[in-house]
Amino acid sequence: MGIILVALYVFAFLFAIKVKFSSSYNQKLFYLYLSACYVVAALRDSSFPDYEEYANIYKSISSLSFWEAITSQDIHGEIGFKTINWLLSCISDDVTILMIIFSGLSLFLFYKICYQYSINPVYAWLVYFPYSFMLKDLAQIRNAVASLLVVYALLSLTKIRSFLILIIASVFFQKYTITSIIATYKPKIIYKNYFWIFIVLMFFIPSVNIEQLQGVPVIGFDLSRYINSEYVIGNSIFQKFKMLVLALFVSVCFIRVINNDRRLKSLYVAFIGAYFYYCLFFNIPIISQRLGGYLSSVEPFLFALLLEKVSKRNSILFFIFILLLSFFYFMFNIFSRDFLKGLFVYGTQ
């Protein structure tokens, strides 16, 4: 599987270079490749994170009535997610059907976002593959679909439509996606040339501690599942610092370009919102990575749009930056994620 992932990434990397310098590409070939990526995701095995958990949920729900399935407190997941599991269990007792459905949803949403909002899918996928596909579509399938729904919601023309999509994402996939609603608020100051000062100051926001949230309804109960685990011990310093650097880079270099495109405005606000969550919940990794992760999922689409909007003089330099960023994400995840290390000879199975 490790060799397959490397081959899929190399194809995306080289395909993006070809598109950049030839200004055209074979759409059928690219979407055939994209489909192959999601077939790999759909047919993965138990060596990937959360696979066993999804399999156990599916098996548990298959033996229950519909009402028991959606109301059981012993089974993890949203009501909508449990409903999907129950309906699919009526068709097959093999959890693979669930993986296929969710991979299909991710593929459809990625295509829908790029097609409907005129975003080059090749450039978006170059960042999406190492940033989201490897960590979400190959592991956290609910998170993968929920994150793409967040992107789709924030690009929508009206706040009502955005809110409805976020509600769907919260009911069927991950309930905390509703927190992404903060990105529908777009204060004018965020587009000012001096906003980078606020980005720097945001870095020093005091982080909320887990003790302050333990008595909060819903959140406190959910956090109790992770007490004394790596999810609530430690911090998200890498993500926080990375988001600071990228937020400053985008704000200082491209704010004028962003100001002239509604799509870029929406994605930029979401990106800043992600950075805010990483700062606010710095000391609670499970929250900062979840809330920040939903909004930072706009990153591949933000950079893909920026690449086509910047001047020709700066386009090559920015493209090289995206190539390097993509390669960094790929190598960082390969060497830092245990489940990915286990796919290669130097890792442990």
Does 258 map to a domain?
yes
Does 347 map to a domain?
no
Q: Is the pLDDT of residue 42 over 70?
A: yes
pLDDT band with cut points at 50, 70 and 90 for residue 348: very low
Residue range 16-23: average pLDDT? Answer: 82
Give the model's pLDDT for residue 25: 72
Q: Is the pLDDT of residue 266 over 50?
A: yes
Q: Is the pLDDT of residue 55 over 80?
A: yes
* pLDDT, tens digit (0-9, with 9 covering 90-100), for 129-184: 999 999 899 988 999 999 999 999 999 878 888 999 999 999 999 888 999 999 88
pLDDT band with cut points at 50, 70 and 90 for residue 268: very high
* pLDDT, tens digit (0-9, with 9 covering 90-100), for 239-263: 888 999 999 999 988 988 898 889 9
Does 321 map to a domain?
yes
Answer yes or no: are the C-beta atoms of 46 and 90 closer than 8 Å.
Answer: no
Q: Is the pLDDT of residue 194 over 80?
A: yes
37 HSE (CA, 13 A, CB side): 29
Q: Could you give the number of structural domains in the chain?
A: 1
Give the model's pLDDT for residue 307: 93
Q: Is the pLDDT of residue 220 over 70?
A: no
Does 190 map to a domain?
yes
Give the model's pLDDT for residue 236: 66
Instruction: Choose between 228 and 44: higher pLDDT.
Output: 44
Does 209 map to a domain?
yes
d(CA 270, CA 190): 11
Does 55 map to a domain?
no
Does 29 map to a domain?
yes
Answer yes or no: are the C-beta atoms of 163 and 150 closer than 8 Å.
Answer: no
Q: Which of 109, 26, 17 is nearest to 323 (CA)?
A: 17
pLDDT band with cut points at 50, 70 and 90 for residue 26: confident
Give the model's pLDDT for residue 284: 80
Instruction: Choose between 130 and 24: higher pLDDT.
Output: 130
Strands (E), the chain: none
Does 313 map to a domain?
yes
Range of the domain at 118: 2-43+95-341
* pLDDT, tens digit (0-9, with 9 covering 90-100), for 60-84: 898 888 888 888 877 888 899 999 9
pLDDT band with cut points at 50, 70 and 90 for residue 349: very low
Answer yes or no: are the C-beta atoms of 106 and 145 closer than 8 Å.
Answer: yes
Count of CB atoms situated within 10 Å of the CB of 210: 19
